[in-house]
C-alpha cells in the first residue's frame, strides 16, 4: 500500500511511519515542520508543505497515487486553543477541509483521522465509550469534533470511508531509540516528569491535588504510541470491507493518577523525583479513562504496552538519549 501520513514528522505520526514501513508499506509524509522534526520522518519520503496551502496539496496528490491517508496534523495545546481559537479552527478544521477536497479530487477514499478524548469535555462516567455525549469545553476539542461531523457528512455525500481514533493520553517511545516525544514547550506529564528526573530543568509541578480521586490528583489513561500506530493500520484494513464513518476510543482502560505516574517514574529511573504542588490547570477533567471494547472487537486491536511502568520506561530510554 502507498500511504500518505500528514503530520508524519510529529510525535505520533513518526511512530506511525515506522510501523507502516515495518509492514512493508510505502510512506509519504506531508508536514510543515512547525512542531515536527525532519529526522523523525526519515523512514519515508518527506514533502514539506502546509494543509492551509491548497496548491501544495494539489501538487502532492498529482505526484502520487495513494491508497489511503492518515491525518495527524493538528495544533493540540488545549490552553493555547482557549486564547487563539481562530488559529485552532483554521488549522484543524479549514486545513482538514483542504485535505479532504484534495483527496476527493484525486479519488482517494480512505482516511484515518486523529481525534481526542477532549471531544468529551467533562465526562459523565468514569469509563468513556463511543456513545458518551460529546460536549467539548475548549476550541481544541471542538475543532476535532467538527471534523468528526464533517467526516460523517462526507461518508453520505461522497462515499468517503473513514476511521476516527480518539486517543486518550498518548505516551512512550519506540524502543529503537530512533523516534520519541520532543515538544517545545512540553506540557505533557510523562516527559515533564522525566525531564525532572534528568535534572537541570524547571521544577516539576503537580497541577491540582484536591480532585475527587484516590489521591486528589487527576486520573488519565496512558496509551503507548506504538499501540496507537497499530490501531491505525487496523483501521485501514477495516475500511477494506466497511464503508461509512467509524469512531473508536483508544486507551488501556485503566487510569493512573499524576502521583502514581511520578511513583512509576521513580521506580524506572531510580531517581527520587521531586515536585511542587500547584493550582489546578484550567480545563483539566478529573478522570479520563477509555472503554476501548469497540476497537478491540471490531478492529481486532490489542494494545501491547498495558503496564504504565513499561510505557514510562520506553519514554525514559528516549529522554536519556533523544535524537532530536
Ligand atoms: N500534569 C501535571 N504536571 C505537568 C503536566 C501535566 O500535573 O507538568 C497533569 C495534568 O494537569 C493532567 C495530567 O497531568 O492532570 C495529564 O496531563 P497531560 O498534559 O499529560 O495530558 P492531558 O490529559 O491534559 O491531555 C490529553 C491529550 C490532549 C487532550 C486532553 C483532553 O494529550 O490532546 O487529554 O483533556 F486534549
Ligand 1 pocket member 138 (CB < 6 A): no
Helix 189-198 with 308-320: angle, nearest 10 deg: 50
What does the pLDDT average to over 64-84?
A: 96
Q: Which atom of ligand 1 is nearest to the CA of 207?
A: 7
CA–CA distance, 70 with 116 (Å, rounded to integer): 15
User: How many whole angstroms from 223 Cα to the centroid of ligand 1?
Assistant: 13
Distances 187 to 17, 77, 195, 205 between C-alpha atoms, Å: 24, 8, 11, 11
Residue 24 has pLDDT above 90, yes or no: yes
Residue nearest to atom 12 of ligand 1 (CA): 218
Residue 277 has pLDDT above 90, yes or no: yes
Q: Which atom of ligand 1 is nearest to the CA of 280?
A: 11
User: How many whole angstroms from 155 Cα to the centroid of ligand 1?
Assistant: 32
What does the pLDDT average to over 100-107?
A: 98
Ligand 1 pocket member 289 (CB < 6 A): no
With b for 16 or more beta-carbon neighbours within 10 A and e for fewer, the 261-299 pattern comes to bbbbbeebbebebeeeeeeeeebbbbbbbbbbebbeeeb
pLDDT digits (tens, 9 = 90+) for 28-72: 999 999 999 999 999 999 999 999 999 999 999 999 999 999 999
* The pLDDT of residue 141: 97
Paired sense of beta strands 204-207 and 275-278, if any:
parallel
Contact 233, 150 (CB under 8 A): no
DSSP bridge partners of 12:
none
Sign of CA dihedral 266, 128, 89, 44: positive
* The pLDDT of residue 200: 78
Residue nearest to atom 36 of ligand 1 (CA): 118
Residue 283 has pLDDT above 90, yes or no: no
Q: Which of 171, 170, 181, 302 is nearest to 231 (CA)?
A: 302
User: How many whole angstroms from 272 Cα to the centroid of ligand 1?
Assistant: 22
Contact 196, 274 (CB under 8 A): yes
CA–CA distance, 56 with 4 (Å, rounded to integer): 14
pLDDT digits (tens, 9 = 90+) for 175-233: 999 999 999 999 999 999 999 999 977 899 999 999 999 999 999 999 999 999 999 99
- Hey, which residues are catalytic here? 140
pLDDT digits (tens, 9 = 90+) for 106-157: 999 999 999 999 999 999 998 999 999 999 999 999 999 999 999 999 999 9
DSSP 41-99: GTTSEEEE--TT-HHHHHHHHHH---SEEEE------HHHHHH-HHHHHIIIIIHHHHH
Residue 80 exposure: Cα atoms within 13 Å on the Cβ side: 10
**Cβ neighbours of residue 262 closer than 8 Å, sequence gap 6 or more:** 193, 204, 206, 273, 275
Q: What's the chain's average pLDDT?
A: 97
What is the best residue among 77, 119, 169, 275 to mutate for testing ligand 1's pocket, by most ligand atoms within 8 Å of CB?
169
CA–CA distance, 9 with 74 (Å, rounded to integer): 12
* The pLDDT of residue 201: 79
Residue nearest to atom 3 of ligand 1 (CA): 206
What is the best residue among 134, 189, 207, 221 to mutate for testing ligand 1's pocket, by most ligand atoms within 8 Å of CB?
189
Residue nearest to atom 7 of ligand 1 (CA): 206
Rg of the Cα atoms in the chain: 19
Dihedrals φ, ψ of 133, to 5°? Answer: -55, 145
* The pLDDT of residue 105: 98
pTM for this model (two decimals): 0.97
Q: Which atom of ligand 1 is nearest to the CA of 281?
A: 11
CA–CA distance, 61 with 70 (Å, rounded to integer): 14
Secondary structure percentages of the chain, helix, strand, coil, to 5: 40, 20, 40
Residue 122 in grid coordinates: 467533562
What is the best residue among 196, 218, 222 to mutate for testing ligand 1's pocket, by most ligand atoms within 8 Å of CB?
218
**Cβ neighbours of residue 51 closer than 8 Å, sequence gap 6 or more:** 6, 30, 32, 57, 73, 91, 95, 96, 98, 99
CB atoms within 10 A of CB 164: 25
Amino acid at each position: 500500500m502507498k500511504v500518505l501520513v500528514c503530520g508524519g514528522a510529529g510525535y505520533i505520526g513518526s511512530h506511525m511511519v515506522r510501523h507502516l514501513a515495518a509492514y512493508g508499506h510505502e510512506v509519504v509524509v506531508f508536514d510543515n515542520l512547525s512542531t515536527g522534526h525532519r529526522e523523525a520522518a526519515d523512514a519515508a519520503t518527506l514533502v514539506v508543505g502546509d494543509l492551509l496551502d491548497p496548491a501544495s496539496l494539489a501538487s502532492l496528490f498529482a505526484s502520487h497515487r495513494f491508497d489511503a491517508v492518515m491525518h495527524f496534523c493538528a495544533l493540540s495545546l488545549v490552553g493555547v486553543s482557549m486564547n487563539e481559537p481562530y488559529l485552532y479552527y483554521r488549522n484543524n478544521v479549514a486545513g482538514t477541509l483542504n485535505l479532504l477536497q484534495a483527496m476527493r479530487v484525486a479519488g482517494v477514499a480512505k482516511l484515518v483521522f486523529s481525534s481526542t478524548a477532549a471531544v468529551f469535555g467533562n465526562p459523565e462516567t468514569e469509563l468513556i465509550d463511543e456513545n458518551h455525549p460529546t460536549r467539548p469545553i475548549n476550541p481544541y476539542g471542538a475543532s476535532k469534533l467538527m471534523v468528526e461531523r464533517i467526516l460523517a457528512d462526507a461518508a453520505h455525500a461522497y462515499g468517503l470511508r473513514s476511521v476516527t481514533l480518539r486517543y486518550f493520553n498518548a505516551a512512550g517511545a519506540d524502543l529503537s531509540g530512533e523516534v520519541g516525544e520532543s515538544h517545545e514547550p512540553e506540557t505533557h506529564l510523562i516527559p515533564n516528569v522525566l525531564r525532572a528526573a534528568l535534572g537541570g530543568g524547571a521544577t516539576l509541578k503537580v497541577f491540582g491535588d484536591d480532585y475527587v480521586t484516590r489521591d486528589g490528583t487527576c486520573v488519565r489513561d496512558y496509551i503507548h504510541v506504538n499501540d496507537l500506530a497499530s490501531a491505525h493500520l487496523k483501521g485501514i484494513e477495516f475500511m477494506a470491507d466497511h464503508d461509512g464513518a467509524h469512531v473508536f476510543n483508544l486507551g488501556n482502560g485503566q487510569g493512573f493518577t499524576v502521583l502514581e505516574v511520578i511513583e512509576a517514574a521513580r521506580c524506572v529511573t531510580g531517581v527520587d523525583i521531586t515536585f511542587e504542588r500547584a493550582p489546578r490547570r484550567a480545563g483539566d477533567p478529573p478522570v479520563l479513562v477509555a472503554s476501548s471494547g469497540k476497537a478491540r472487537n471490531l478492529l481486532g486491536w490489542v494494545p501491547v504496552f498495558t503496564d504504565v511502568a513499561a510505557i514510562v520506561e520506553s519514554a525514559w530510554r528516549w529522554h536519556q538519549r533523544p535524537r532530536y
